[in-house]
Structure 1
Amino acid sequence: MLHLRGQTLKPFFRSISTTAAGGSAVKSHHNDDKNNHGFLPANKHLNSWTEPKDPKEAEAKLAFLRREYAKKVREFRKEYIHEMEMQRIEKMRKDEAKKEAQRIANEERKVAKAAEKKAKAMEREAAQQEFRKTLLKERQGKLEYWRMREKNFSEKKKEKQDLLRRQSSMWIDEKELEKKALEAIVDTIQL
C-alpha cells in the first residue's frame, strides 16, 4: 500500500474503483444505505421561530418555549427514571427467581446426596450382615468338623481301651504263662 506522509492512499484507490471505465458510478453498499435511509419527521419547533416585532412578546414567547422544553425534559426524565426502576425491579425479580431456583436445586442435590448416603449405608449394612452370616456358617462348619473329629477320636480311644481291656483280661502272669505254654504244647502233641 502506498503511503504519502503518514496517510494511506486506500480511500483514493477505493473512489477510483467505484467508478466504471465509462465514467458511470457503480452502486456499492454504501450508496444503498443513503438511498434507503428513512428520516424522522421534522420537529414542529424547528424553524418555527418568527421574529416578533415587540421585545416583550419575544421574551414571552421564549419563556413559553423554555417552559415547554423544561416540561418535556421532566417528562423524559420521569420516563427514564420509571424505565430504570422497571429494569431494576425486573433484574431483582430475575435475581430472586435465580436464587430460588438455585436454592431448590441445592435442596434437591442435598436430598439426592442424603438418599445416596442412605442407600450406601443400607448396602454396607447388608454386606456386613452377609459377612456375619458367612462367618457364622464357617464357624459352625469348623465347630461341626471339630466335634466330629473329637467324636471319632474319642470313639477310637474307646475302641483302643476296649481292645486293651479285652487283651488285658487275657493276660497271664509269667509263672502261669510257662505253665499254659507247656499245657498247650502237650495238647498239641497229644493230638
Structure 2
Amino acid sequence: MATSQLFFRLRYRRCPSLLPPTTPRTIAPFFRSNSTSSNSEAQAPDPPRRRRLPPPRPHKFSEPSDFVGSWNPTDDPREAKIRLGRLHRDYQKHMKQIRAEYAYEMELLGIEKQKKDEARRDALRLANEERNKVKAAAAEIRAAESKAFQEELRQTLVCFFLSLHLSFFVLILKERQQKLESWRGKEKLLTEKRADKNELLRRQSSEWVSEDKLEDRIMAAIIGTTIL
C-alpha cells in the first residue's frame, strides 16, 4: 500500500496535468488562513469596512472520487503495472470529463454574463435615448421661447420706429405748414402793398396838378421819398 501511494505521488509530480485543476475556491481558504495568521502575528489594526457582496450562488459539489482508496495491492508486478495503467487511463478519462463539464459551466457563466451585459447596455441605451428625448424637447421649448421673444422684440422695435417716424413726419409736416403759412402771409402782405401802391399811383396819376403847385409837389415827392 505504501509503495502504491509513493508511486502515485511520483507519477503526479512528473505529470501535473493529471491533477485536478486548482480553482480560486480551493486556494482562497489557504490565503485567508495565511492572511489571518500574519495579521494576528503582526497585530495590525482592523481593516476598513468594505461593501458587502451578495451571497454566493448555491453550488452543487461533485461526489467523492472513486479513485481514492481504490488500489488493491498485488504480488504480481506485471498485473500491478497493467492495473496501474488502466487506473491512469480511467483517471485521465474522468479528469477529461470533469474539465469538459468545467468548460461547459464556464461557457454558461460567460453566456449569462454576456446576457447581463447586453441587458445593462440596453438599459443604458434606453436611458440615454430618454435623456436625449428630454434634452431635445427642452431645446425645442427654448427655441420656441427664443423665437417668440425675438418676434415680440421685432414687433416692439417696428412699432417704436414707426411711431418715431410718424412723430418725425408730423413735425416735418407742422414745420412745412408753418413755413407755408408764413410764406402765404408774406405773399399776401406783399400783394396788399403792391395793390396799395398801385392804387396810390392810380389816384396820384389821375389827380390834376396845376403848374404853380407842380414844383412844390415835385420837391415834396423828392424830400418825402421812402426807402423800400
Give the TM-score normalised by structure 2: 0.53
CA distance in 2 between counterparts of 1:117 and 1:60 reads 83
Deviates more, 1:117-126 or 1:52-61: 52-61
Match of 1:52 among 31, 46, 65: 65
CA distance in 2 between counterparts of 1:38 and 1:101 reads 38
Report 1:125-136 matches (<5 A). Answer: 125-136=162-173
CA distance in 1 between counterparts of 2:200 and 2:194 reads 10
> For residue 114 of structure 1, what is the amino acid of its counterpart?
E
> For residue 185 of structure 2, what is the amino acid of its counterpart?
M
Greater than 6 Å deviation, 4+ residue runs: none
Match of 1:161 among 189, 192, 198: 198
> For residue 212 of structure 2, what is the amino acid of its counterpart?
E
CA distance in 2 between counterparts of 1:53 and 1:160 reads 156
Structure 2: 5+ residue stretches without partners: 1-42, 68-90, 216-228
> For residue 95 of structure 1, what is the amino acid of its counterpart?
N
Match of 1:178 among 199, 209, 212: 212
Match of 1:91 among 124, 128, 135: 128
How far 1:62 moved relative to its partner?
4.8
Q: For the aligned residues, what is the CA RMSD?
A: 3.3
CA distance in 2 between counterparts of 1:136 and 1:70 reads 96
Deviates more, 1:110-119 or 1:80-89: 110-119
CA distance in 2 between counterparts of 1:60 and 1:123 reads 92
Deviations 1:52-104 (A, max 9, x none): 12446655555444433332322221111101111012112212221232133
Percent sequence identity over aligned pairs: 27
Q: Summarize the Cα distance change of 1:127–1:42 in structure 2 as closer, same or farther, 3 Å threshold.
A: closer
> For residue 159 of structure 1, what is the amino acid of its counterpart?
D
**Structure ranking higher on relative contact order (CA contacts 8 Å, 6+ apart):** 2
> For residue 128 of structure 1, what is the amino acid of its counterpart?
H
Give the TM-score normalised by structure 1: 0.61
How far 1:128 moved relative to its partner?
1.6
Deviations 1:20-59 (A, max 9, x none): xxxxx8x9xxx45x1544775677659x567512446655
Q: Summarize the Cα distance change of 1:35–1:177 in structure 2 as closer, same or farther, 3 Å threshold.
A: closer
CA distance in 2 between counterparts of 1:179 and 1:69 reads 154
CA distance in 1 between counterparts of 2:149 and 2:51 reads 60
Residue 115 of structure 1 is matched in structure 2 by 152
> For residue 82 of structure 1, what is the amino acid of its counterpart?
A
Q: Summarize the Cα distance change of 1:35–1:178 in structure 2 as closer, same or farther, 3 Å threshold.
A: closer
